[in-house]
Chains A and B, each alone.
Chain A
Amino acid sequence: MRETFTKGMARNIYYGGAVFFFLVLVGLTVDTVNSLPKTDNSQNLTEQVAAGKRLWEINDCIGCHSLLGEGAYFAPELGNVYTRFGENTEVIKTFIKTRPKNGIPGRRSMPQFNFSEEELEEIAQFLKYADGIKTARNWPPNIQG
């Protein structure tokens, strides 16, 4: 690089740029957190939903599925599964309940988690809550996720 552009100038761009844009990120984060109640469906965030989220986590569902597009890509998107399953939590519960213990020969299969009825309801309610989050342009693009 040319001599007119000194190391000192490069250093100042680094420190100045990093600090400035980090502060911008913090500012935007504050704004985002403040405006979330409009979209995040927190009015439906019940104890049951929170318990469902915990079950979602401790069974590592994200290790196969995506949720709002994030996670693994081995199994279907679940951010809209409530809609895809006819807005019926019973269908979700039945699906989870009926997975064969030893899988399906040659095919991908969800494990059998042996959830209690109460736990099934919590997971279903969690997925219903996730479906209620207002995503931009109503992502995903269609019902297939």
Chain B
Amino acid sequence: MKYQTQSIAKMYFIAAIGLFVGQILFGLIMGLQYVWGDFLFPAIPFNVARMVHTNLLIVWLLFGFMGSAYYLIPEESERELYMPWLAKLMFWVFLVAGALTILGYLLVPYATLAELTMNDLLPTMGREFLEQPTITKIGIVIVALAFVFNIGMTILTGRKTVITLVLLTGLVGLAVFFLFSFYNPDNLVLDKFFWWWVVHLWVEGVWELIMASILAYVLIKITGVDREVIEKWLYIIIAMALISGLIGTGHHFFWIGTPDYWQWLGSVFSALEPIPFFMMTLFAFNVVNKRRRDHPNKAATLWALGTAVMAFLGAGVWGFLHTLAPVNYYTHGTQITAAHGHMAFYGAYVMVVLTMISYSMPIMRGQKAANLSAQAMEMWSFWLMTVSMVFITLFLTGAGILQVFLQRYSDSPMGFMATQDKITLFYWMREIAGLVFFIGLVIYIIAFFVKGEEAKTSEA
């Protein structure tokens, strides 16, 4: 570690992993509720479990992004963090606000939470992924602004690299587009339209900038490949991400009462959205093949290659599967969407954060790489989580295809609940795959504490 303030990332990563565990536990609860309808009812109804599952995901990924930024930006900028105390303070603000919000979901009925937090003054609650009380949303904005200010000043007063500028653009975009979560008109179509300005422009827009820049940073460090080469790749990948993804927002405007031209625009541009992810895969394998040194951290290399491949499969391939309007007409709002959502989030965002943790955590703990036993164990957790996520996705896809056929495509369409009863088998299989994922996650955490033989550097 070249700069002391990089170590602030550690607390962010620990919090991220802790919340990740919570996310998966609630995922397992929901998976069980799919087949055992009254499990934990009425104490934890499905909608509450789902809020906890998705909100924990968002919060821990944000912790992961912030930790990644705090780690890589001082090193790239060749200076200490502008205000280390602010980064530490914001960590606690964010953690306490996040924990209180999750406890609020679990301990009181959601309508009571709305009343307690005075949702009526500025109603923003109750929209998918944006369920946080308005006061929490304001807290998120404050944390995001303090964070962007802190890293922005570090970047602007230090050495500017393509990686830091792209990361900064992504993080500023993240903060700016979140502001649309405060716009909640009574007109349902307008509400839905601008809701996507947060959700789509985050995950299929600015988050891709964050992901690509973190991946580029780790690849420079691991492979020693010339920065010029990596920066060129980075530019072209994020260029394609925005060129396809901005108008690609249109694939959400097919069936919500918006004009028909979105059918064409959304289909054509979102059909291009796999390209940046495919390029990311080419990029990762290319630079690893051209590596100038054999970094002792093999686990981080595996995560870096893994995130590129899984992001392409989950976001690219599974996204394309249902993105063309004539196909989406049948698949919209079915388990196909759930299948895509799971692998895309895991492949692109979960894995890139784990890549960064894998690379930086040993360094923050005073080693160049984790010991050989710990790395072997970490790689086991990689395969367990990744393969089980592939199966979760495949089972949900199977469920989704049957659902589409029985409920929407056949000549005598069945009702929603009758259809659900027919596809229970797939939900059971998904739950089993989910348990394997959880085992993988437990092994991932144990790997941090395993002792063993030191990993040796062998310069090529």
Contacts and interface: CB of A to CB of B under 8 A. Distances in A.
A39 B190 CA distance: 11
Contact of A10 (B232, B260, B413, B415): B232
Contact of B258 (A24, A32, A67, A109): A32
Interface in A1-33: 1, 5-7, 10-11, 13-14, 17-18, 21-22, 24-25, 28-29, 31-33
A55 B79 CA distance: 51
Contacts of A1: 229, 232-233, 236
B188 A53 contact: yes
Interface residues of A, number: 77
B235 A105 contact: no
Interface string B397-417: 000000000011100011111
A8 to B, nearest CB: 9
Interface in A35-94: 35-36, 39-42, 45, 49-50, 53-54, 56-64, 66-77
How many chain B residues sit at the interface, stated as a range, is 35 or more
A124 to B, nearest CB: 15
B333 A73 contact: yes
Contacts of A107: 37-38
A103 B407 contact: no
A35 B274 CA distance: 31
Given A13-B235, A57-B125, A63-B51, A144 B259 contact: no
B243 A18 contact: yes
B127 interface: yes
Interface string B310-322: 0000000000000
Contacts of A130: 188
Nearest to A46: B186
B239 interface: yes
Interface of B: 30, 33-34, 36-38, 41-42, 45-48, 50-51, 110-111, 114-115, 119, 123, 125-128, 131, 162, 184, 186-190, 192-193, 228-229, 231-233, 235-236, 238-239, 242-243, 246-247, 249-250, 252-263, 265, 329-330, 332-335, 337-338, 407-409, 413-417, 419-420
Given A18-B243, A58-B114, 4 more contacts: A7-B231, A68-B257, A108-B46, A140-B332
24 contacts: A17-B242, A18-B242, A18-B243, A36-B189, A40-B190, A42-B187, A57-B114, A57-B126, A60-B110, A61-B47, A64-B45, A64-B47, A67-B188, A68-B333, A73-B334, A102-B42, A107-B37, A109-B37, A133-B256, A135-B256, A136-B254, A136-B260, A141-B329, A145-B407
